[in-house]
């Protein structure tokens, strides 16, 4: 076996909407792989297909060499899944939740007991293990779910937005656990997130996904390097000058245009500190007045904007979300 996860042209259509469009990726054993994209980009749909929750409309996927449709039970035995919304039984204690999980995955009594101890200490919940889950905080519940996902020694762990809705401090904690279990348990992890920082800090490789397609895939560093240097943000006085400014830089060849907003332009240059005077003199040579300048290292945000033409924070309701909403309301 070469890959932990291997998809070929996997596709999912909901009515006329294509939520996931012919995605082909490979993830090596032991990798921590991130799917980064805005809400409605198709990340959860992809994870749901890979974890056998829904069937693909086209293409195929292998998890640990098992086909997600034809060998769903083998796939299930080999994966752990932590969904976006909690799937714990909140009337049970943490330990009981883990124990039931172990039983469903066919672990015998002794194995369950030992493994519960291990996973509890991994997520530091040993002391609260016998409290009813209802009394847990959001962060504790997420940790318990991660522990539960690991109970049966899965080869691949799927984490769908593992830190969604958690406060910043708890988020940092969860990151530590994810890194730890990736290293100590050697488990291959695929996580989805729309937090740039999370993808950047955690993942070995990132696939940027938008409108159901992968627009870029590489290590976080390589993705940032691809932009070609430091990011300079220039604010112009007159909105109409933006296009003229961009073409001036393109002609000169000193900078790459990353993206534009109303009266701002983001460009990347090598050796930003040294290039600022040159960039500014080009602007004044063209008679464009610049009101502010800033310089920083590139982030994944810039990468994302570069590939998709918009910031990930922009809360737009995508077609897929609309369909999802309609489907939910129809049920009622």
Partner 1 sequence: MANTSFNRAIQTVYTMWLREMIRFSRSKSRIIGALATPLFFLIILGAGFSSSFQVRGGGSFDKGFLAPGLIGMSVLFASLMGGVSIIWDREFGFLKEILIAPVSRLFVSLGKAIGGVTTAMIQGILIMIIAWIIGVRYQSIWGVFLAIVIMFISGIGFIGLGIAIASKIESHEGFQMVMSFLTMPLVLLSGAFFPISNLPGWLKTLVYLNPLTYGVEALRWCLLGNSTIPISISIIVLVMFSIAMTALGGKLFGKMRV
Residues that bind partner 1 (CB under 8 A): 51-53, 73-74, 76-77, 81, 83, 85-92, 96, 100-101, 103-106, 132, 148, 331-332
Which C-beta is closer to partner 1: that of 137 or that of 289? 137
Q: How far apart are CB 95 and partner 1 at their closest, in Å? A: 11
Cβ atoms < 10 Å from Cβ of 251: 10
**Helices 138-150 & 168-184 angle (0-180, nearest 10):** 10
Rounded Cα–Cα distance for residues 31 and 35 (Å): 13
Q: How far apart are CB 329 and partner 1 at their closest, in Å? A: 10
DSSP 316: -
For the beta sheet containing 230-236, the strands, ordered from the edge strand earlier in sequence to the opposite edge, are 256-260, 264-269, 230-236, 290-296
CA 86 to each of CA 126, 159, 270: distance values in angstroms, whole numbers, following the listed order:
20, 12, 46
Which C-beta is closer to partner 1: that of 274 or that of 332? 332
In the block, residue with structure tokens 């369950």: 112
Q: How far apart are CB 109 and partner 1 at their closest, in Å? A: 11
Which C-beta is closer to partner 1: that of 160 or that of 185? 160
Rounded Cα–Cα distance for residues 242 and 38 (Å): 27
Which C-beta is closer to partner 1: that of 88 or that of 320? 88
Q: How far apart are CB 157 and partner 1 at their closest, in Å? A: 12
Q: How far apart are CB 106 and partner 1 at their closest, in Å? A: 6
Which C-beta is closer to partner 1: that of 152 or that of 171? 152
Q: Are strands 205-210 and 66-67 parallel, antiparallel or unpaired?
A: unpaired
């Amino acid at each position: 076996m070469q890959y932990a996860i291997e998809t070929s042209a996997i596709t999912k259509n909901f009515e006329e909407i294509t939520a996931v469009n012919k995605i082909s990726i490979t993830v090596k054993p032991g990798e921590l792989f991130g799917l980064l994209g805005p809400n409605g980009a198709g990340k959860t749909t992809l994870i749901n297909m890979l974890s056998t929750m829904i069937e693909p409309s086209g293409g195929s996927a292998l998890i640990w060499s098992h086909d997600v449709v034809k060998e769903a039970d083998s796939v299930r035995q080999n994966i752990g899944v932590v969904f976006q919304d909690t799937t714990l039984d909140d009337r049970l204690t943490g330990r009981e939740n883990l124990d039931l999980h172990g039983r469903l995955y066919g672990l015998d009594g002794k194995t369950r007991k030992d493994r519960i101890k291990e996973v509890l200490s991994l997520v530091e919940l040993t002391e609260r293990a016998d409290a009813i889950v209802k009394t847990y905080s959001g962060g504790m519940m997420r940790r318990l779910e991660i522990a539960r996902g690991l109970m049966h020694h899965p080869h691949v762990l799927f984490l769908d937005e593992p830190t969604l809705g958690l406060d910043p401090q708890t988020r940092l904690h969860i990151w530590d656990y994810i890194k730890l279990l990736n290293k100590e348990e050697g488990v291959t992890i695929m996580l989805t997130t729309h937090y740039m920082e999370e993808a950047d800090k955690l993942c070995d490789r990132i696939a940027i996904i938008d409108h159901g397609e992968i627009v870029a895939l590489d290590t976080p560093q390589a993705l940032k390097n691809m932009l070609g240097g430091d990011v300079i943000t220039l604010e112009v006085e007159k909105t109409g000058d933006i296009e003229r400014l961009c073409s001036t830089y393109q002609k000169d060849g000193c900078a790459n245009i990353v993206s534009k907003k109303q009266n701002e332009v983001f460009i990347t240059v090598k050796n930003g500190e040294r290039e600022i005077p040159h960039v500014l003199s080009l602007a004044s040579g063209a008679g464009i007045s610049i009101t502010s300048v800033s310089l920083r290292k590139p982030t994944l945000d810039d990468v994302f904007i570069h590939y998709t033409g918009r910031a990930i924070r922009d809360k737009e309701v995508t077609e897929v979300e609309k369909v999802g909403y309609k489907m939910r309301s129809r049920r009622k």
